[in-house]
A and B are shown apart, each in its own frame.
Chain A
Amino acid sequence: MYDRLLQLIKKYLPEDQIAKAKPESRLLADLGMDSIGMLMLSMAMEDEFGVSFDEPVHFVTVQDVLDFLDKKATKR
């Protein structure tokens, strides 16, 4: 799941940050993702992992996203 997520996250990162993405990386502070990138990532996660967002979810790190998917993903 981590590899699939990483591939997805990379689509929405600034190009010069792609190589830096690790589980402990903070999406906004370390990887330069912005709120629109987060929105597009969450939509892509709905398709890829079958999750749904009924309320705002605040992800700080890549690991936070992984933890969320561990609990909520319906497509693994």
Chain B
Amino acid sequence: MQKREIIIDLLGSDMGPEEMLEGARMVLDAFPGVDVALAGPRALVEAANLPEGRYTILEADKTVTNLDNPIEAFYRKEPVSVFKALEEASRSDDALGVISAGNTGALFAGAIRFLLADKAVRPCIAAILPTTQGGFTCLVDTGASIDCGPAQLVEFAHHGSDFMRRLYKIESPRVGLLSNGAEPTKGNKLVKEAHALLAKEEGINFVGNIEGNKTLSGLCDVLVCEGFAGNQVLKNSEGMAVNLITEIVKYGKMNNVPAVKEIVGYLMSRFDFASLGAGIMLGTRKPVLKNRGSCRREAVKNAAQILVNLSDNKTLYESIN
């Protein structure tokens, strides 16, 4: 049986490399047939007492901070963990993909450098949002391309559709276009032009414009927008989820409602972005997953679940439920 390996960048997380290491331990516990390759300082990994024979070390003790220029970081002489991880993914047949919680720009630039699928097609970063229908919507782009042209939005639609087909087994994913109104005449110049292109694009099941208040309604499987708007949607949704949960907890405490604990537990399982959140780079030869900087160890395991599912061709939905 072919070896399967998940590559984890240990450095760059706000929570420190120890949290990523614990995430790696959870990956090893959860997936007996999967090993890990850990990009980071050797001494740190060796001190963690991970199961013998289940890990390899990609030795690197430097990271790219938010103050660094991610592209200039390529030319550093000393090994940078995120680039080590991506280089290994490009080289190794065993690698299922890469997980990192470090600098997004460096991860994105490195993924382009080492893993770009088509040199003429710009990749993008997708986020999987839970919907009120119980499923998920792939929001794309969430910040890799702040300014886009209409043809780029069509490329995002293809990337997102392909991803949802593979991960969730949706034969013909419904593609929506983020706009300020459902009618085709609504939107700015970019949205109107993209609408016209998407409506006639082969291989895309375009269902029209989606308004901001319907982004989590499950009306589409892929929601396309330029990176600036996508980033706002993502962060606004996260902020709103946190605010609502906080309000429910406050109400429960003030009025002594025991059921609140159960409700909050359920909501956290659906909307706790610190555990669930991983941006997914689309348009690369292998999956590259970006956990948020402040992610906890569970997020590393959940990101690994996506890589394993993509590799097994299982749906994520089946495995979560």
* A36, B149: Cβ atoms closer than 8 Å: no
* B149, A14: Cβ atoms closer than 8 Å: yes
- CA separation between A37 and B145, bound complex, in Å? 10
B-chain residues with CB within 8 Å of residue A54 when the two chains form the complex: 75
Q: How many residues of A contact B (CB 8 A)?
A: 20
In the assembled complex, how far is the CB of residue A72 from the closest CB belonging to chain B, in whole angstroms?
16
Interface residues of A in 14-43 (CB under 8 A from B): 14-16, 32, 34-40, 43
- CA separation between A26 and B147, bound complex, in Å? 17
- CA separation between A50 and B263, bound complex, in Å? 60
Interface residues of B in 120-165 (CB under 8 A from A): 120, 122, 144-152
In the assembled complex, how far is the CB of residue A28 from the closest CB belonging to chain B, in whole angstroms?
12
In the assembled complex, how far is the CB of residue A34 from the closest CB belonging to chain B, in whole angstroms?
7
* B112, A39: Cβ atoms closer than 8 Å: yes
A-chain residues with CB within 8 Å of residue B122 when the two chains form the complex: 12, 36-37, 40
B-chain residues with CB within 8 Å of residue A38 when the two chains form the complex: 71
B-chain residues with CB within 8 Å of residue A55 when the two chains form the complex: 75
- CA separation between A40 and B144, bound complex, in Å? 13
Chain B's closest residue to A47 (CB) is: B119
In the assembled complex, how far is the CB of residue B74 from the closest CB belonging to chain A, in whole angstroms?
8
A-B contact count (CB 8 A): 49
Q: Tell me the dominant secondary structure on chain A's binding face.
A: helix
In the assembled complex, how far is the CB of residue A64 from the closest CB belonging to chain B, in whole angstroms?
16
* A39, B71: Cβ atoms closer than 8 Å: yes
Chain A's closest residue to B123 (CB) is: A36
In the assembled complex, how far is the CB of residue B104 from the closest CB belonging to chain A, in whole angstroms?
11
A-chain residues with CB within 8 Å of residue B69 when the two chains form the complex: 56
* A43, B72: Cβ atoms closer than 8 Å: no
* A36, B109: Cβ atoms closer than 8 Å: yes
Task: Knowing A11-B120, A34-B146 are in contact, say whether A43-B113 is a contact too (CB < 8 A).
Answer: yes
| A6 within 8 A of partner (CB) | no
Q: Which of A14, A34, A40 has the most CB of B within 10 A?
A: A40
* A56, B72: Cβ atoms closer than 8 Å: yes
In the assembled complex, how far is the CB of residue B83 from the closest CB belonging to chain A, in whole angstroms?
13
Chain B's closest residue to A15 (CB) is: B149
B-chain residues with CB within 8 Å of residue A56 when the two chains form the complex: 69, 71-72, 74-75
* A32, B75: Cβ atoms closer than 8 Å: no
User: Chain B interface (Cβ within 8 Å of chain A)?
Assistant: 69-72, 74-75, 105, 108-109, 112-113, 116, 119-120, 122, 144-152
User: Chain A interface (Cβ within 8 Å of chain B)?
Assistant: 11-12, 14-16, 32, 34-40, 43-44, 47, 53-56
What are the 7 closest A-B residue pairs judged by CB atoms, nearest first?
A: A15-B149, A56-B72, A55-B75, A14-B149, A56-B75, A11-B120, A39-B71
Question: What are 19 sample pairs from A and B whose C-beta atoms fall under 8 A apart?
Answer: A11-B120, A14-B148, A14-B149, A36-B144, A39-B109, A39-B112, A39-B113, A40-B112, A40-B116, A40-B119, A43-B116, A43-B119, A44-B119, A44-B120, A54-B75, A55-B75, A56-B72, A56-B74, A56-B75
